[in-house]
Amino acid sequence: MVRKDFFMHDFSYVGKSFYCENVNLEKIAKRFGTPTYVYSYKTLTEHYLKLDSAFNYINHTICYSIKSNSNIAICKLLAGQGCGADVVSGGELYRAIKAGIKPDKIVYAGVGKTEDEIKFALLSNILLFNSESQAELELINKVAGELNKRAKIGLRINPDVDAKTHAYITTGKKENKFGIPLGEAFEIYKKADRYKNLEFRGIHIHIGSQITSVQPYVEAVKKAVDFINKLKSNEIKIDYINIGGGLGIIYDKESPAKADEFADSLKPFLKGLNCSLILEPGRFITGNAGVLLTKVLLVKKSIEKKFIIVDAAMNDLARPSLYDAYHNILPLVKSDEDKSSEIVDIVGPVCESGDFFAKNRRFPFVESNNILAILSAGAYGFSMSSNYNSRPRAAEVLAKNGRCYLIRKRETYRDLIRNEKIPAILAKLGRKNGKK
């Protein structure tokens, strides 16, 4: 059911009960209800520090990718370790600043920044805009001029490298919407003085997410370094090389590079470059730092299938539905060895056939009210969740050394309609229908 070299080291069985950092997860489920996300403080910290230490051969800044898990408590935890932030919206920038991340450690990516978002970032004095197109450069230049500011730019190039990952999360091939082709980028740098309010300071690449081999990184970084050397030979100075994020984790049978292996593979290209390095990890830090707790509502048998219906759904964790992604799932209380397992689908209550967490999975016998843990849910779990089917979003809890802390309240029905309004023209409809 789960590989023997269990990869979520701060989540483990103690006897028959499943724990996170000496906190019994069944007690968390009873205290806070389900569905609930639970994160390990120790795992989050250790994953950041491993990556930070691995690149100690070069001056670097780790800018945590907030889109992977945007809870302000987790951002605050990482800020306390000296971490920066990779943001892709004004909302993420707001979160980062409120969490205490220093603006000079924030980089702002994304293909479609609004004028208000650009203004917010300029007034916040962020480190760099990762710019994706000439049209965007024109817009940033315009907004910066209106504010009498100089915007620092890291030009995102498209290295045309296949990251060998899911098509939806591949971002560095020439047919993707991200980045600027190398030839076009070189012409932009040659004519940089046309942008009076911009300072071109860096090169940015990001080739995808959940990448389990170092080879695509090596290929992409080599292209970026060759491009930087070409700029230098034309007397164009570059201060930063941003190699993005996307380092993969173990969900099932993957064997991704460890932090030191990843760093060592890039060392021959980076060490003598005389540029500061920026990294944008997200999933690597948070993915295996979190689980989603969910309760079995009922077990349904049909002619051909057996369904375990749980109270979490695709609106809580969208990855299986979006990417057909695999997540290990464990009962919080181990069943007796003599109880047989069976082939089941584990599904949620949302009105979509795509609402599932496992299909044709061999799973221990469980009953109504048993609690399950969906593993590797710390990244792109809550941050991609929604209120589809008018379902309140889950609670979030942080576990640390035998104690747990609520870091997001569960939404209520009242929260679902908090910002909605019924205009006066609709309020009168009842009276027209003869109602008082």
Where are the chain's structural domains?
11-39+288-416, 41-286
In order of 134, 142, 420, the CA distances from 194 in angstroms are 12, 12, 46
| 158 HSE (CA, 13 A, CB side) | 18
Beta strands across the sheet bearing 11-14:
11-14, 17-20, 23-24
| Architecture of the structural domain at 41-286 | Alpha-Beta Barrel (3.20)
Q: What fold characterizes domain 11-39+288-416?
A: Lyase, Ornithine Decarboxylase; Chain A, domain 1 (2.40.37)
In order, the DSSP letters of 171-217 are --STTSSSSEEHHHHHHHHHTGGG-TTEEEEEEE---BSSB--SHHH
Under 8 Å between Cβ of 131 and 117? no
Q: For position 208, what pLDDT does the model report?
A: 80
**SS3 state of residue 407:** strand
Q: For position 431, what pLDDT does the model report?
A: 61
Question: How many other C-beta atoms can be found within 10 angstroms of the C-beta atom of residue 382?
Answer: 24
Q: For position 304, what pLDDT does the model report?
A: 85
Tell me how far apart the alpha carbons of residues 73 and 90 are, in angstroms, rounded to a whole number: 18
Give the mean pLDDT per block of 10 residues along the chain (436 residues): 63 96 97 98 98 97 98 98 98 98 97 96 98 94 98 90 47 52 90 95 88 87 92 94 92 90 95 94 97 97 93 98 95 78 95 96 95 98 98 98 98 98 84 55
Under 8 Å between Cβ of 316 and 381? yes
Q: For position 4, what pLDDT does the model report?
A: 46
Q: For position 175, what pLDDT does the model report?
A: 46
Q: For position 16, what pLDDT does the model report?
A: 94
Asked if the peptide bond before residue 35 counts as cis, ω within 30 degrees of 0, the response is yes
Q: Mark whether 275 is an active-site residue.
A: no
Q: Token pair of 298, please?
A: 């009922």
Amino acid (1-letter code) at residue 235: E
pTM to 2 decimal places: 0.92
Beta-ladder partners of 151: 198
Provide CB contacts within 8 A for 274, sequence distance 6+.
none
**SS3 state of residue 360:** strand
Tell me how far apart the alpha carbons of residues 126 and 340 are, in angstroms, rounded to a whole number: 57
- Catalytic hit among 20, 75, 275, 351: 351
Beta-ladder partners of 19: 12, 24
